[in-house]
Structures are given as C-alpha cells and as structure tokens.
C-alpha cells in the first residue's frame, strides 16, 4: 500500500479523497493554484504544493507541474479525481515514465473509451446495445442530411471528443440537420480542438441511467448497480439517485452484464461508469464510458456500502478485488443533489462571491437515515470564477425512495448559505414535485416542468400555516427575551396580547399564540367552530439562521433571516417575507402606504451588476445592506482586473 499520494484536483472531490486516504493511513499531498491558496483541500492535506496561476490551463491541467510536485514531495501515486486530467491518456503515461502510479485505469482503456466514435465501435464489438447511427466520417452538411434521412428523425448530432453538452444538437428535419451539423462542428472545434461529429437516432423521452463498474489488474470486473441521472439542465446533471425507479432486477442484470463485457473488452482496471440512454420501455443503448470517478459516486457508495475511492487505491496498488458479483447487494435508496452558486431564477447563471455564511446540515447516520455532505468550501471562503461553482453535494440514504426524498427535503431546509444566489430553494421545490416523487423522469424533465425557468414556489395552505406558525413563534421568543432585559422601569409586568396577524407575502393569517411549558401553542382562526391547533417546540434563539424544531412532533426546519420589522423565511422551496403584528399594529399597518426604497439603496443578496466572462454571465450581489455612492462602469464596458465597478457610501 502507498505511504503518500498526491491528489491532482481541488474542491470537494479532493477533500473526499483525502478523507479515505486518512482512514487508510496514507499521507496526502494537495496541489493548488493561486486562487486556491486558502482552499479547504489545502488545509486538509498533510502537505500542499503551489502549481501556478488561477486558470486551470496554467495550473491543474499542466502535467509537468503535477509530476514535479510528486517528485518534490515523494508521492508514490496520484488520484486525479474527476475533470481536469482524469481522462487524459497522456497523464498516466507521463506518471509512468516518472515511476509514479496512476490511481485510475490504464492508458489504453482511457484511449479506447475517450473517443465517442471509437468507443461506440468497441461497444458494438462487445455486443453492447448501441443506438442506431452512423459512426463514420461525415464530410459535409449534405452528407449529414443523407445519413439523417436513412436513420430516421429525430437524430442527435454529437461531437466525437465532446462532453458537458458541448457540440451536441437535436434535429427534427433536414433543415435542422444542416444547421445543427455546422454548429456542432464549430463547438467541437473550439471546445476540444476536434471537429469530428457523428449522428445517431435520438431516443424520444429518454432517461439517463449509468452502471458503476469496478475492475482490478488481474482481469476481474464487477458492477455495482445503476444510478439514475435524468434530472439535467443543459446536459449537466443536477440530481442523481440509486437505484433507478425505472430499472427492475432483470433489466439491471442485463445492463450490468453488458457494462462488464465492455469493461473487460478494453481491459478496464479501476472504477468507471458505463452510461446508457434508456427508453421508458426499459430498452437501453450504450451512450459512453467515463473512465474516472463520477461526481455522483456517493449514491452508489451508500446503497452498496462500498468506498469507491478506497477500491481505486487498492486496485492501483495491485490488490485483487475481494468482492465478487454475488457479494454486491443494493440496500435502501440514496438521493444526491448538487448545491451550486447559481441563480435558478436567471436560467441558472453562475453567482460567485464570498461565503458570508455556510452552515450545512449536520452529517448523521441514525434511525435508518443517513445525511452526508461532500464539500470543499468553508464559511468565509470564496466561490471563484475560475472553476465549477459547486458549493457541496448533499446525499441522503434511507430504506425507501420516499424516505430518502423526505430526508433530502429536510436537509435542504436546514442548509444555510448566504453571500450570493444559490439553488437550494430550487432543489427543495424539486423534492416536492409530484412527477419527481412518482419517479416519472426523463432528461427533458426540467425543460418540461419549468419551461419559463424556476420561480419561487407559492405556498399551499399547509405550508403557509407552517411558516405563519414559525414566524409567530420567533416573534414570541423575541418578545419574551425583551421582557427579561434588566433595568426596565418598575411596575406592572409587561404583557402582550395573544392574538396575532401574520402577513405572509400577500396574505394575512390570523392566529393566537401562548406559551405552555417548553412548547408554544398556535391556534388558527377558521370559518367553522374548530380552530386548527399546532404545538411547536424548538431551541431556537435570536441569531440562529435556521429555526429547527417540531410542529405536532413532526421535525421542521425553516431558514430565517431578519429584516426590518420582519423575517425572510425559506422552506420547501418557498421564499417569503413575514411580518407579525398585534391586532392594533396590523390595523395601523394596513393604513400605511407601501414604502419604496430609494433608487440607490441595495439590500443583501440583491443584484448589483452582471459581468460577462468566458461567455458566461456572472451575477454580482450585495453582501450586506448599503447605499451606492457612485457607479464607475456602464453597460458594454471592458473591465480590467481589479477595476472598480461601483462605490458604496
């Protein structure tokens, strides 16, 4: 076994690998760019080596710098994580020349699966189901139209060296093929330096399901079941789960057998993933093979109990797999959501900045529920414009899919992030979506269910009552605290009437609230004789960003941010503002005209500017309330590094 390994990556995956290495007693070396000098993975590793400027092309993607870092630190092996150099054939070759072990597949397997055209040919030779299509060289648009006519519409035009949705077009007609062919070639050339494209039949209403494989250097290969990755935007995965709600045991067996056959055919000897496009009729077709650890690997780990990073390290060290196919059992259900610094209401544009507050839900494994957080950030750190804007991966595991989704929803409600826009409310709303809960998925799910983009959820009656009750409870606790302040004027004890009017968004909810021991009892007004009553318990205290407690013995978490005379609340994808009044205060408030903020006043979280960089729009938001003194830039300006955009009073 290795004594010291280097992680040629950053962020959450570097931290994830370090955790397993620690458990195995292996020392770790981190590498970092100038932008990552204070990153979490640098702090966690036993040793860290700087490798250059912030752009990945000058640091994390420079093979010679990684090899040099290994030599300087005595690292015997390198784990590439995912992305960056993880699927570059030249990387393990360069490591081998330096006498360093690559914790991943052999270069020939990477090469065989790295080219989408050649990988499909290899899959066909291994008798793996493939999508009907043309894998030869396509000379021009006219040739592309002829091929599409023969295959039958709709068709998918895809870059051979592509990935991440680049160089990909769906065409439903001859005209769309001609246009899509030209655009796909251009994107492929500019993104990958390779303009080759191929055409295949597009499966209508498809699902994206992948099989995790694991091989060693002694010819043994097994599979660890499937993951459903159909919830995607712009061909990027957002939510993953294991197993799939579509796949039955028979289909799993067939997909697993084909994945193992392909892995054996190319001499695969590490953890890898064979991806399939699957019809709603459970017919499946080979899509591609990823010769690395996947972002979504934790869901497989939780349903199998197998640490994939550990297995990769052991295989790289020459050990035989101790697991046989018959040893692999899927237990329970796991769901993973990707928490990103992005604005779901603005077509998921990246939203960079400093993490003013970062309070993830507590990791735990009790009562049949597991909550796991894989992250590479910390409170006070920064989400950089140079890299993927992932904040964390939130994974939950339970006995059933329904319970795993419920645990995920609860964990998202308790996940507090401030400093910039993020997608937590979107993910929380998604967990409540009836179609998602029913498992009726496809890769078009998000575009079909949110055609106009995502907007904050309007609370239903039950959720509105929950938020009103929590707002009243918070107000009551604040009132109790004020009445305990020392040095107040002597005399009769200060009392406050029980009746409240809670303004929740555009609605007003009448209730009364009383203290009964450690609990608060909330009674709502109703048209009939019965008055809905709820009992709330919580250890919440002023300043806590999350109200966690129970309502009628049911665990509830609501994110709380104080605003002038009220609170901003977030729960189950609902984001709303609440004001709690006595009856007299409410009567006066109804007479007050709505106050409009001055033009130059900004509130924490509001958009200040949108800066375009690398063909992406980056939203800059206010870290705190303030007043704009001067605006130094105008729309269309080109900005130098460190240029001042605006000044505050």
Question: CA dist 534 to 472, 524, 531, Å?
Answer: 12, 9, 10
Angle between the 141-151 and 174-192 helix axes, to the nearest 10 degrees?
Answer: 120
SS3 string, 544-583, reads CCEEEEEECCEEEEEEEEEECCEEEEEECCEEEEEEEECH
Peptide bond into 243 cis (omega under 30): yes
Question: Residue 211: in which H helix or E strand, if any?
Answer: strand 207-215
Distance (Å, rounded) from C-alpha 506 to C-alpha 92? 60
Instruction: Count other C-beta atoms under 10 Å from residue 200's C-beta.
Output: 23
- Which SS3 state, helix, strand or coil, does residue 472 take? helix
Backbone conformation region of residue 95, classed left if phi is above 0, alpha if psi is from -120 to 50, else beta: alpha
Place of tokens 């010769």: 291
User: Which runs of E-coded beta strand occur in 216-348?
Assistant: 221-233, 236-242, 271-278, 284-290, 333-340, 342-343
* CB-side neighbour CA atoms (13 Å) of 279: 11
Distance (Å, rounded) from C-alpha 273 to C-alpha 351? 30
- Which SS3 state, helix, strand or coil, does residue 381 take? coil
Sheet of 77-79, strand order:
47-50, 27-32, 4-7, 77-79, 101-102
Contact between 138 and 197 (Cβ < 8 Å): yes
319 catalytic per annotation: no
Distance (Å, rounded) from C-alpha 488 to C-alpha 476? 19
DSSP string, 478-536: HHHHHHT-TTPPPSSPP---SEEEEEETTEEEEEEEEEETTEEEEEE--SSS---EEEE
* Tokens describing residue 93: 């070759």
**Cα 459 off chain centre by:** 24
Nearest to 6 by CA among 138, 106, 95, 126: 95
Nearest to 349 by CA among 443, 453, 229, 230: 453
Question: Residue 16: in which H helix or E strand, if any?
Answer: helix 11-23
Among candidate residues 288, 296, 301, 342, the one labeled active-site is 288
Active site residues: 288
């Amino acid at each position: 076994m290795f004594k010291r390994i280097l992680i040629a990556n950053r962020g959450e995956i570097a931290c994830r690998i370090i955790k397993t290495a620690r458990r195995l007693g292996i020392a770790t070396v981190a590498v970092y760019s100038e932008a990552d000098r204070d990153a979490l993975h640098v702090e966690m590793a036993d040793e860290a080596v700087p490798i250059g400027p912030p752009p990945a092309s000058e640091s994390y993607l420079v093979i010679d710098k990684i090899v040099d870092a290994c030599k300087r630190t005595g690292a015997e092996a390198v784990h590439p994580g995912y992305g960056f150099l993880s699927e570059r054939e030249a990387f393990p070759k360069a490591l081998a020349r330096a006498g360093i072990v690559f914790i991943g597949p052999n270069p020939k397997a990477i090469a065989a699966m790295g080219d989408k055209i050649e990988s499909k040919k290899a899959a066909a030779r291994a008798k793996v189901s493939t999508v009907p299509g043309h894998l030869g060289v396509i000379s021009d648009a006219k040739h592309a139209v002829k091929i599409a006519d023969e295959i039958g519409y709709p068709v998918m035009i895809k870059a051979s060296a592509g990935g991440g949705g680049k160089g990909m077009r769906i065409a439903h007609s001859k005209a769309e093929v001609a246009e899509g062919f030209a655009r796909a070639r251009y994107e492929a050339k500019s993104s990958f330096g390779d303009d080759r494209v191929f055409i295949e039949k597009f499966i209508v209403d498809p699902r994206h399901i992948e099989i995790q494989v694991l091989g060693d250097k002694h010819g043994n290969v097994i599979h660890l079941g499937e993951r459903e990755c159909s919830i995607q935007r712009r061909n990027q995965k957002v939510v993953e789960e294991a197993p799939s709600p579509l796949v039955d045991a028979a289909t799993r067996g067939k997909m697993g057998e084909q994945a193992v056959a392909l892995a054996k055919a190319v001499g695969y000897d590490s953890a890898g993933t064979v991806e399939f496009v699957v019809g709603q009729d459970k017919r499946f077709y080979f899509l591609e093979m990823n010769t690395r650890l996947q972002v979504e690997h934790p869901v497989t780990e939780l349903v199998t109990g197998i640490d994939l990073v550990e297995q990769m390290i052991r295989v790289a060290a020459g050990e035989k797999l101790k697991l046989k196919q018959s040893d692999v059992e899927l237990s329970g259900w796991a769901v993973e959501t990707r928490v990103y610094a992005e604005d779901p209401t603005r077509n998921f544009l990246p939203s960079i900045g400093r993490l003013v507050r970062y309070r993830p839900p507590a990791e735990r494994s009790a009562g049949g529920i597991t909550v796991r957080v894989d992250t590479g950030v910390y409170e006070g750190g920064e989400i950089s414009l140079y890299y993927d804007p992932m904040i964390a991966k939130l994974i939950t595991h339970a006995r059933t899919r329904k319970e795993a989704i419920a645990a995920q929803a609860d964990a998202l409600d308790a996940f507090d992030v401030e400093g910039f826009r993020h997608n937590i409310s979107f993910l929380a709303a998604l967990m409540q979506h009836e179609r998602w809960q029913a498992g009726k998925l496809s890769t078009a799910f998000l575009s079909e269910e949110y055609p106009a983009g995502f907007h904050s959820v309007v609370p239903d009656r039950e959720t509105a009552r929950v938020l009103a009750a929590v707002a009243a409870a918070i107000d009551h606790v604040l009132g109790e605290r004020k009445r305990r302040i020392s040095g107040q004027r002597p005399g009769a004890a200060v009392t406050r009437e029980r009746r409240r009017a809670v303004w929740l968004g555009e609605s007003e909810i009448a209730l009364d609230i009383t203290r009964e021991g450690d609990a608060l009892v909330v009674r709502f007004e109703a048209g009939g004789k019965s008055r809905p009553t709820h009992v709330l318990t919580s250890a919440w205290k002023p300043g806590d960003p999350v109200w966690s407690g129970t309502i009628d013995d049911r665990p509830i978490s609501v994110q709380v941010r104080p605003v002038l005379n009220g609170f901003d609340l977030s729960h189950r994808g609902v984001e709303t503002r609440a004001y709690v009044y006595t009856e007299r205060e409410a009567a006066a408030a109804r007479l007050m005209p709505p106050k409009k903020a001055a033009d130059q006043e900004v509130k924490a979280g509001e958009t200040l500017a949108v800066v375009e960089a690398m063909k992406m729009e980056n939203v800059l938001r206010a870290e705190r309330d303030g007043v704009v003194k001067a605006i130094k830039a105008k729309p269309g300006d080109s900005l130098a590094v460190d240029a001042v955009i605006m000044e505050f009073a």
